[in-house]
């Protein structure tokens, strides 16, 4: 199992967090759980393996070209076969540049990207299958994304405002004052909530909770500090608050998570 990251070109740096390649040459089946990250993804499946996700207590095969909406709760997945996956991870606000729909309608779903974008994405997928070199594959993807960016330039002003609002929220992960932030940007709290949800798929409060949770995952993975210290360093009021949110996003407690680190989430953190 191999995971590689690639940075975008200068023109796409404000929009793309990174590209990644996930490769597995083993036919071993495994199950895992994907946690909320606060970021949407496109994934091109370029291998022969099969992925399935749990929907209504039943596993369903995911499409060859996947759009991951905002995941707001733990999502069980299954894998079988040999994989080559090329992924695009957007920043929380920036996926909105590339879609005509409000991104909140994609929440907690893995959609067929052709149903969302149309035939051009299918053509891109075929080009990627015919192009073995990773750098050339990324160039094809970047050409496609830049065209979409130019087409949706009229969204720029609103999305940039959302980016600034999210930055203000991140500065105080323990619970920003929405009224103060709304006043700072000359809008009502209700409009701020609507604007953020339309362009990220997350309410401001949900965004803050996921940011705290992701910070705790990184701290758990990178040091041996007590859970109480990790809770406070992540912006939680107390350890019980931390455990409650952690369980909502993972389906398990921090202690159980440490004892059963999963392959996918351990790589993606």
The strand order across the sheet containing 110-112 reads 2-6, 16-24, 83-90, 41-45, 65-68, 110-112
| 177 located within any domain | no
Q: Return d(Cα 89, Cα 245) in angstroms, integer.
A: 24
In a domain, 247, yes or no: no
Residue 73, in any domain of the structure: yes
Residue 167 is assigned to a structural domain of this protein: no
Angle at the Cα of 108 from the Cα atoms of 94 and 93, rounded to 5 degrees:
10
Residue 101 lies in a domain: yes
Q: Is the residue at 185 inside a domain?
A: no
- Per the structure, how many domains does the chain have? 1
Please report, for the domain that includes residue 134, its CATH number: 2.60.120.10
Q: Which residue is associated with the tokens 């965004």?
A: 207
Residue 22 lies in a domain: yes
Cα(first)–Cα(last) distance of the chain, in Å? 16
In degrees and rounded to multiples of 5, residue 151 shows phi and psi of -65, -30
Domain region containing 139 = 2-153
Does residue 132 lie in a domain region?
A: yes
Residues in the chain: 269
Per-residue pLDDT of the chain (269 residues; tens, 9 = 90+): 688 999 999 999 999 999 999 998 877 888 899 999 999 999 999 999 999 999 988 999 999 999 999 999 999 999 999 999 999 999 999 999 999 889 999 999 999 999 999 999 999 999 999 999 999 999 999 999 999 999 988 889 999 999 999 998 888 655 567 888 899 899 999 999 999 999 999 999 999 999 999 999 989 877 678 889 999 999 898 899 999 999 999 999 998 888 776 655 554 44
DSSP-derived letter for residue 2 is: E
Whole-prediction pTM value?
0.91
Per-residue model confidence (pLDDT) at position 262: 60
Q: How far apart are CA 113 and CA 124, in angstroms?
A: 11
């Amino acid at each position: 199992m191999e995971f590689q990251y690639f940075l975008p070109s200068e023109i796409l740096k404000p929009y793309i967090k990174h590209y990644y390649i996930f490769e597995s040459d083993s036919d071993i089946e495994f199950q895992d759980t994907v946690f909320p990250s606060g970021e949407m993804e496109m994934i091109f499946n370029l291998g022969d393996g099969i992925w399935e996700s749990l929907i209504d207590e039943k596993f369903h095969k995911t499409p060859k070209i996947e759009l991951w909406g905002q995941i707001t709760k733990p999502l069980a997945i299954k894998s079988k076969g040999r994989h080559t996956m090329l992924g695009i991870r957007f920043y929380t606000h920036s996926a909105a540049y590339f879609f005509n729909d409000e991104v909140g309608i994609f929440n907690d779903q893995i959609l067929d990207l052709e149903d969302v974008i149309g035939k051009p994405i299918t053509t891109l997928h075929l080009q990627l299958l015919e192009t073995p070199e990773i750098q050339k594959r990324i160039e094809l993807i970047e050409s496609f994304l830049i065209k979409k960016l130019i087409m949706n330039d009229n969204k720029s002003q609103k999305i940039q405002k959302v980016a600034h609002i999210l930055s203000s929220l991140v500065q105080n992960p323990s619970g920003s004052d929405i009224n103060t932030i709304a006043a700072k940007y000359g809008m009502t709290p209700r409009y701020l909530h609507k604007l953020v949800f339309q362009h990220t798929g997350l309410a401001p409060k949900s965004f803050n909770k996921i940011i705290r949770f992701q910070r705790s995952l990184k701290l758990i993975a990178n040091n041996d500090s007590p859970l109480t210290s990790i809770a406070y360093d992540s912006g939680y009021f107390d350890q019980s608050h931390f455990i409650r949110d952690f369980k909502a996003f993972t389906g398990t407690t921090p202690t159980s998570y440490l004892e059963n680190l999963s392959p996918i989430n351990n790589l993606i953190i």
